[in-house]
Structure 1
Amino acid sequence: MQAFPSQRSPLKRAVQAALLGACLSGGAVPLAVLADTLASDTQARDWNIAAGSLASALDQFARQAGISLSYDATSVAGKASPGLSGRFDREQALGQLLRGQGLQAQRQGSSNWLLLPQVADTGALNLGATTVTGDRLGATTDGTGSYTTGAVTIGKGQHSLRETPQSVSVMTRQLMDDQNLTTIDDVMERTPGITSYESPMGGKYFYSRGFKMLGQYQYDGVPLDMGKDYAQADSFSANMAIYDRVEVLKGAAGILKGAGTASGAVNFVRKRPQASPTTSLSLSAGTWDNYRADVDTGGPLNDSGTVRGRAAVSQQNRGSYMDIAKRQDQAFYGALDIDLSADTTLGLGASYEDVDATPCWGGLPRYADGKSAKLSRSTCLGQSWNDWQSRRATYFADLTQQLNDDWKLKVAAVHSRNLQDIKYAASEGTIAYDNPAPTAVSYAALMDYDHKDFGLDAYLDGKFEAFGLQHELILGANGSRGTQDDIYAIQNLPTRQSIYQPNHHFPEPADNTFWPNMYRGSTIKETATQYGTYATLRLRLAEPLMFIVGSRVSWYENRRQSYSLGWGEWSLQDARTKETGEVTPFAALIYDLNEHLSVYASYADIFQPQSAYATADGAALKPKIGDNYELGIKGEWFEGRLNSSLALFRSIEKNGAETDYLSFCPTSADGYCYTDTGKVRAQGVEAEVSGELLERLQVSGGYTYTQTKTLKNIDSTAEGGVSNSYVPRHMLRMWGDYQLDGALSKWSVGAGVNAQSSNYRVQTIKLEQAGYATWSARLAYRLDDTWTVAVNGNNLFDKTYYNTVGTASWGNFYGEPRNFTVSLKGNF
């Protein structure tokens, strides 16, 4: 970031005066040294200094900056630093590190600095007070200690939350660490405005603004189709040890990828190699034999620092509050950043994630009238031989070319392959009052999935001057290709299950018995290819007014071949869907009310292929289309360390798939055919805050009000009613962490709440979960400059509730009972 000429800091003026005086007086400082000193002070560069003791942070800064820092050791003893991450010049970076530490910097030579206690009229310079831009956060959140970010990258380039005219929630590294969020499920269920729904076949579906999030995932901004007809719903096994942050955009995201609903998009931003040697170690143990270890290390690999590396390893073994369920997760991650020149950086990375689990899927039944049977939360109707094996290998590559001070080119690619082998049993059937006899029907499923996803994205981002104002243009193209080669079979088991006293030791059927004896199964080969070009122009119409206009032109092709048995009938399907030149526009206005507040209005188009659904005559449904409107106000406070937002939204989707219960399609997952007569509307309010609300107090969370309505339906009696009853009308997600002061400065206390109003599901009868709230807390103690110990507690008041409401026969899942985790973390 650059200060305006009229706002040069006192340090710059002092240095320039000193250098000029030396030149005029024939001083001993050579002109070349003077030029280098000025350039190094004013040239912006990327910094990555890990949080920890102030002494460690200053040492890292001195090594990265190539200067000598002198200070009295007692002046920094016991002081902590949140670290530094972002792009600043050297003066700004030092100002950020000294902010609030009671120290001042005084230059002693071209590369020597003296740190002194902060007192009046010493002649020293308080960089924290005079360098406003030094207080700003960058896009990277690792090591900042913050619950917010200085910029998001989900929309290409880097823009602050205030400059982004849509609702975006960012789950930062510090926020994930403090709340002990280790999986994608954990992260999404703590994100404001997101609702989860657990699939009876494993994994969870996510909803935003009343709509399901279908394959709307990005890795470092590269869109993939992951989640499309995915075996484990939307929540593939993502280990958060790999990522710096998760950016969640709410609302239509068609300009990012093309195809998509009004729900939003999720961008996983991976950790990058650090500019200085840094290592962290984390060990934890918790309820239900939950043990986890993480090691994360990185830094320069050569003397010049032009080659940097990072590696992370994670291992977790855990039981469950449900009988027989257990799981083991492993993750390995490695990355390199190579400076091919001063303006060119090549990034390479790979990760491997492995899940070995005995799952408990299928959920629990209720009484025939829909009332809860109040079963123990430990109840599992599965078998001890249930097995879930998941292996995912992902490869990353990107090339960033700084063309000049204003223009940058970035090309990025991601390839991922997921293999899943699953064998499990579950039971279903309504419960009869006062009847403990084995009544539930049991079945077993055998699944073999092979999914490959490839994505490529390239864009040019630059600024230009016109009419005395600065504008920005982004031009790009991206594409993705996803293939699935799946086979599954489900057969009935001969033994009925007792709901009240489950038997977990039914005989395990041999694998070769499934296909001959199945009542439902399929072989599926599907390939979905999507590519497009996009452009976004950010025009500064006046100093306080910006107009943003963009569009994406998409080409989409899908071929699905299946041979299926469903409900007693075999069928062969070979369906092709192709969409050409589909345009998804985007437009927005942002008006700066003052230095802190901006109001905005935005519009986005919706386009979503529905080739997985077929009509009664076998034809694929035409794409879903719609409109997304948003009006809001955003605030940025304390030089970006606190962000806030309030938004009104309305989305309308047309041509939505509707189940035709009077038809029969054996290739369908539920046996029914579909029509594209659906039209729904979702509208509501979102309020969110993230960052440093008060000194030493970090907060993150928000309130969401969502109202959904069916405007048109194959069943006319449903029109005017709620279109998505899974999504609660009211939802609150809040978390805060406070660093104590004075004699208790080594302690920090965190607390949070997840609360929502009622939600329900209707299948001939209404099954409802009343509104509820669960509370969580954290207490941490800094043992020394390296080690911190913490205790996290979830569902502190042991609230019993259904996290997912299913049917009377199956699919009801309890939320986790009260649980605790003790962790020890060290930063070196």
Structure 2
Amino acid sequence: MQAFPSKKSPLRQAVNAALLGACLASALPGVALAQEPARDSQTRAWNIAPGPLSSALDQFARQAGISLSFDANSVAGKHSAGLTGALDSEQALGQLLQDQGLQAQRQSDNSWLLLPSVGESGALNLGATTVTGERLGATTEGSGSYTTGAVTIGKGQHSLRETPQSVSVMTRKLMDDQNIHTIDQLLERTPGITTYESPMGGKYFYSRGFKMLGQYQYDGVPLDMGKDYVQADSFTANMALYDRVEVLKGAAGMLKGAGTASGAVNFVRKRPQDKPTTSLTLSAGTWDNYRAEVDTGGPLNDSGTVRGRAVVSQQNRGSYMDIAKRQDQAIYTALDMDISPDTTLGFGASYEDVDATPCWGGIPRYSDGKSIGLSRSTCLGQSWNDWQSRRTTLFADLTHHFNDDWKLKVSAVHSRNLQDIKYAASEGTVAYGDPAPTANSYAALFDYDHKDYGLDAYIDGKFEAFGLEHELILGANGSRGSQDDVYAIRNLPQRQTIYQPNHHFPEPADDTFWPNMYRGGTVKETATQYGTYATLRLRLAEPLLLVVGSRVSWFENRRQSNNLAWGEWSVQDARTKETGEVTPFAALIYDLNDNLSIYTSYADIFQPQSSYATVSGAALKPKIGENYELGIKGEWFDGRLNSSLALFRAIEKNAAETDYIAHCGTSADGFCYSDTGKVRAQGVEAEISGELLERLQVFGGYTYTQTKTLNNIDSQAEGRASTSYVPRHMFRLWGDYQLDGALSKWTVGSGVSAQSSNYRVQTIKLEQPGYALWSARLAYRVDNTWTVALNGNNLFDKNYYQTVGTASWGNFYGEPRNVTVSLKGDF
């Protein structure tokens, strides 16, 4: 892909003049041209992957910096061998079109029209013309890019530069290149996101020092995923189903109503395509990690008005930890139908299944918090540990274009997650000099049933006033989440040996948990929220844009529980309600020049906390606060490279603070809470994504986060870090480079994830020093269909704790060095 400077630069003017003046002196090889001006003699190195002809033409247009127009039917089903080597643009286009029955006709300085060659039957239907040009779109499949032309997390489509908040986009190519298959793998590689392993399974995610619990959207529809734990935030989410994942950092109340200063995650599904495509991916790796994926789809009728898609993936994998293993299955189907030229109806379903033998609970430390130095394979669980998770999702959406400027979109999602869990773990500190330390053992039994419904509808349009163009978005959305949970935790009579664990304790019968439990009970909860929202993007002057918006939200929650915690039974039947809560948002964006814009934004924070109770048994009042951001964003080479630098500050008041002395059975975890907490987080974020140099894609960022407790139930905690396991410094970078010349079939990639120290204080301080993890990828294009790649992670086999827990439990090692070899075919 050719990188161009600003349109107004002398170099850009010279390039444009050269392209305009280089008028085809002779016919393209294998292509009949409408005229024969002088040939463009400027050569460049081309790198176009084999695959569908339409995809190859898309890549050619982006690398050449031109626009191509063609009838979708004229390229449907045709395959391209790709293109490599040094050629001028005419030679390159000629080679791509050779034997394809098409001829190129120049229309303007930067535009070409592809027509049937002489002797080919059929005529070009201009009404069905597909246009591919210089700029990337919102969809990232087939773009070959680590960035995107537009994000949809804030309704409508806006470029990253036009979005006055920090947003990271994990594109399809980025996920494929790094072998990202699950939500936790994805967020572990997203700049600014911290993951924290829960001792009861799954991972919590933190952004800017705040937990991202429940802040998820599916194609823009908000859902209350992760309600009351459900294996932390790490619910099943197979990345094979998605085109991209958009991660907004900062307050996201405008998107959903309730939310913290952490942000939101929008999963954007793969959609049926207008041309036949099929891909097959096979991989094998360390710890018996085997995976297969088939992705196929295309038009289902001659006119292409009905399109379908299906994705099936299966992965079986072991672990560096003893006994641990996991099997993931995912099935996805989608259908798009053009009801009219202006209206499209889409619907589909997915099913995700996890069948695992997990190793939860973590490992202990010495009584003073020092690491024991256990093998990374150590697991204190049992071979009968079992985790079954089944998630079914149904979705539908309708998009109608009233005209070129106004459209309506209505979307609905339903998701049901069933989880059956039974596992054992051990906890207890280790004394120095003890040759055979042991730990108490316990077992847990869970039966979860969570249902989520979401609906979103909005109208988005542009209008002119005072000689300038403006945009208005009006919408409403709502979600309803319900849970019906039963759980029980009981002690086991056996003590676990730390240095030589026994994985074959007798499995307790399920009916022994309830009469012998020390913690457990039933929880039924229904949370409903809905609201209306509006956003006005008002162009005050050519370089100045004002973005103002507001959401009015209604919340209602009913929680019924009967819990045993710390020797006391507690019955709760509580209702909480919030009416007409207003969440405002405001921002200014000023264009400094063709490439740079500065912005500032403000957003309110509002988060109900009814799952937690005070000592008196009352539900906590909602968390409130404000979020400020000031930044500069860059868009280079017609949007193929994006960059950003932001300063942020967020203050949350009424934050839930754990009272570790008192116990409340009505709280989600049995502890009592205080809503007097006040915390502040501030810092700096910098990010870059896209084509930094020709044939070099990069994605990465640096984050500085400083958190501080301003008010706490424990006065000694005031002035300290409010989230100490979020490192102050974090740096993540990944790059992928396509070699040139005789080595053009080779691609090399490399990356690093580095962070400063993090720690946890609970009577004593446990610390993990800073570390850096290196990874790499080497890929070889075998022929026009197949590509083989080798990925390696933690190349220098760094031994570190990915999560710091307590002296008794909750310490998890990070993965040792591992490799994966994969084979991918595009048909």
TM-score by length of 2: 0.88
Q: Residue 64 of structure 1 contacts residue 275 of structure 1 at CA under 8 Å; is this kept in 2? A: no
1:276-355 alignment, distance < 5 Å? 276-355=275-354
Q: 1:275 Cα deviation (Å)?
A: 0.2
Percent of residue pairs identical: 81
| Matched residue SS, 2:184 | helix
Q: Residue 436 of structure 1 contacts residue 498 of structure 1 at CA under 8 Å; is this kept in 2? A: no
Cα distance in 1 for partners of 2:88, 2:197 equals 46
Counterpart in 2 of 1:784? 783
| Matched residue SS, 1:556 | strand
The amino acid that maps onto 2:535 is T
Q: 1:52 Cα deviation (Å)?
A: 2.9
What do the CA deviations read for 1:289-317 (whole angstroms, capped 9, x no partner)? 00000000010000000000000000000
Counterpart in 1 of 2:420? 421
Q: Residue 216 of structure 1 contacts residue 226 of structure 1 at CA under 8 Å; is this kept in 2? A: yes
Cα distance in 2 for partners of 1:515, 1:54 equals 59
Counterpart in 2 of 1:52? 50
Could you list the runs of 5+ residues in structure 2 that have no partner in the other structure?
1-6, 8-12, 22-47, 59-67, 114-129
Moved more, 202-211 or 671-680: 671-680
Q: Residue 430 of structure 2 contacts residue 437 of structure 2 at CA under 8 Å; is this kept in 1? A: no
The answer to whether 1:738 aligns with 2:737 is yes
Q: Residue 105 of structure 1 contacts residue 126 of structure 1 at CA under 8 Å; is this kept in 2? A: no
Q: 1:55 Cα deviation (Å)?
A: 5.0
Counterpart in 1 of 2:83? 79
The amino acid that maps onto 2:772 is A
Cα distance in 2 for partners of 1:806, 1:720 equals 22
| Matched residue SS, 2:231 | coil
What do the CA deviations read for 1:75-104 (whole angstroms, capped 9, x no partner)? x865169xxxxxxxxxxxxxxxx9968435
The answer to whether 1:103 aligns with 2:87 is no
Cα distance in 1 for partners of 2:135, 2:109 equals 19
Counterpart in 2 of 1:153? 152
Cα distance in 2 for partners of 1:58, 1:653 equals 50
Counterpart in 2 of 1:391? 390
Give the 3 Å change call, closer, same or farther, for CA 65–606 of structure 1 in structure 2. same
Counterpart in 2 of 1:199? 198
Counterpart in 2 of 1:748? 747
Q: 1:432 Cα deviation (Å)?
A: 1.6
The answer to whether 1:114 aligns with 2:103 is yes
1:2-401 alignment, distance < 5 Å? 52-53=50-51, 55=53, 57=55, 64-67=71-74, 79=83, 102-103=91-92, 113-115=102-104, 127=111, 134-401=133-400
1:758-777 alignment, distance < 5 Å? 758-777=757-776
Q: Residue 656 of structure 2 contacts residue 676 of structure 2 at CA under 8 Å; is this kept in 1? A: yes
The amino acid that maps onto 2:479 is S
Cα distance in 1 for partners of 2:782, 2:112 equals 28
The answer to whether 1:497 aligns with 2:482 is no
What do the CA deviations read for 1:631-673 (whole angstroms, capped 9, x no partner)? 0000000100000000000000001111234433133355432
Q: 1:439 Cα deviation (Å)?
A: 1.9
Q: Residue 408 of structure 1 contacts residue 462 of structure 1 at CA under 8 Å; is this kept in 2? A: yes
Q: Residue 55 of structure 2 contacts residue 142 of structure 2 at CA under 8 Å; is this kept in 1? A: no
Cα distance in 2 for partners of 1:282, 1:545 equals 47
Give the 3 Å change call, closer, same or farther, for CA 68–125 of structure 1 in structure 2. farther
Cα distance in 1 for partners of 2:94, 2:788 equals 33
Counterpart in 1 of 2:31? none
Counterpart in 2 of 1:602? 601
Q: Residue 84 of structure 2 contacts residue 744 of structure 2 at CA under 8 Å; is this kept in 1? A: no
Counterpart in 1 of 2:563? 564
Cα distance in 1 for partners of 2:88, 2:204 equals 43
Counterpart in 1 of 2:441? 442
Cα distance in 2 for partners of 1:198, 1:100 equals 52
Q: Residue 374 of structure 2 contacts residue 499 of structure 2 at CA under 8 Å; is this kept in 1? A: yes
Q: Residue 315 of structure 1 contacts residue 330 of structure 1 at CA under 8 Å; is this kept in 2? A: yes
The amino acid that maps onto 2:83 is K
Q: Residue 105 of structure 1 contacts residue 127 of structure 1 at CA under 8 Å; is this kept in 2? A: no
Cα distance in 1 for partners of 2:562, 2:625 equals 33
The amino acid that maps onto 1:520 is R
Aligned residue-pair number: 757
The amino acid that maps onto 1:365 is P
Cα distance in 2 for partners of 1:380, 1:189 equals 23
Q: Residue 531 of structure 1 contacts residue 556 of structure 1 at CA under 8 Å; is this kept in 2? A: yes
Q: 1:252 Cα deviation (Å)?
A: 0.1
| Matched residue SS, 1:262 | coil
Q: 1:717 Cα deviation (Å)?
A: 2.0
Q: Residue 438 of structure 1 contacts residue 496 of structure 1 at CA under 8 Å; is this kept in 2? A: no
| Matched residue SS, 1:175 | helix
Q: 1:436 Cα deviation (Å)?
A: 3.3
Give the 3 Å change call, closer, same or farther, for CA 252–77 of structure 1 in structure 2. closer
Cα distance in 2 for partners of 1:474, 1:335 equals 27
1:366-765 alignment, distance < 5 Å? 366-765=365-764
Q: 1:115 Cα deviation (Å)?
A: 4.6
Q: Residue 696 of structure 1 contacts residue 738 of structure 1 at CA under 8 Å; is this kept in 2? A: yes
Cα distance in 2 for partners of 1:699, 1:721 equals 36
Q: Residue 585 of structure 1 contacts residue 605 of structure 1 at CA under 8 Å; is this kept in 2? A: yes
Give the 3 Å change call, closer, same or farther, for CA 223–126 of structure 1 in structure 2. closer
The amino acid that maps onto 2:518 is Y
Q: 1:712 Cα deviation (Å)?
A: 1.1
Q: Residue 103 of structure 1 contacts residue 126 of structure 1 at CA under 8 Å; is this kept in 2? A: no
Cα distance in 1 for partners of 2:309, 2:395 equals 14
The amino acid that maps onto 1:135 is E
The amino acid that maps onto 1:274 is Q
Cα distance in 1 for partners of 2:242, 2:54 equals 24
Moved more, 367-376 or 615-624: 615-624
The amino acid that maps onto 2:72 is A
RMSD over aligned Cα atoms: 2.7
Q: Residue 51 of structure 1 contacts residue 144 of structure 1 at CA under 8 Å; is this kept in 2? A: no
Moved more, 224-233 or 664-673: 664-673
Q: Residue 334 of structure 2 contacts residue 348 of structure 2 at CA under 8 Å; is this kept in 1? A: yes
| Matched residue SS, 2:504 | coil
The amino acid that maps onto 1:65 is A
Q: 1:718 Cα deviation (Å)?
A: 1.6
Q: Residue 436 of structure 1 contacts residue 499 of structure 1 at CA under 8 Å; is this kept in 2? A: no
Give the 3 Å change call, closer, same or farther, for CA 222–670 of structure 1 in structure 2. closer
Give the 3 Å change call, closer, same or farther, for CA 522–100 of structure 1 in structure 2. farther
| Matched residue SS, 1:206 | strand
Give the 3 Å change call, closer, same or farther, for CA 500–543 of structure 1 in structure 2. same
Q: 1:719 Cα deviation (Å)?
A: 1.4
Give the 3 Å change call, closer, same or farther, for CA 235–742 of structure 1 in structure 2. same
Q: Residue 184 of structure 1 contacts residue 238 of structure 1 at CA under 8 Å; is this kept in 2? A: yes
Q: Residue 53 of structure 2 contacts residue 75 of structure 2 at CA under 8 Å; is this kept in 1? A: no
TM-score by length of 1: 0.88
Q: 1:523 Cα deviation (Å)?
A: 0.3
Cα distance in 2 for partners of 1:136, 1:80 equals 22
Q: 1:769 Cα deviation (Å)?
A: 0.2
Q: Residue 105 of structure 1 contacts residue 124 of structure 1 at CA under 8 Å; is this kept in 2? A: no
Give the 3 Å change call, closer, same or farther, for CA 798–101 of structure 1 in structure 2. farther
Give the 3 Å change call, closer, same or farther, for CA 228–682 of structure 1 in structure 2. same
Cα distance in 2 for partners of 1:656, 1:512 equals 39
Q: Residue 429 of structure 1 contacts residue 808 of structure 1 at CA under 8 Å; is this kept in 2? A: yes
The amino acid that maps onto 2:295 is D
Give the 3 Å change call, closer, same or farther, for CA 66–299 of structure 1 in structure 2. closer
Q: 1:250 Cα deviation (Å)?
A: 0.1
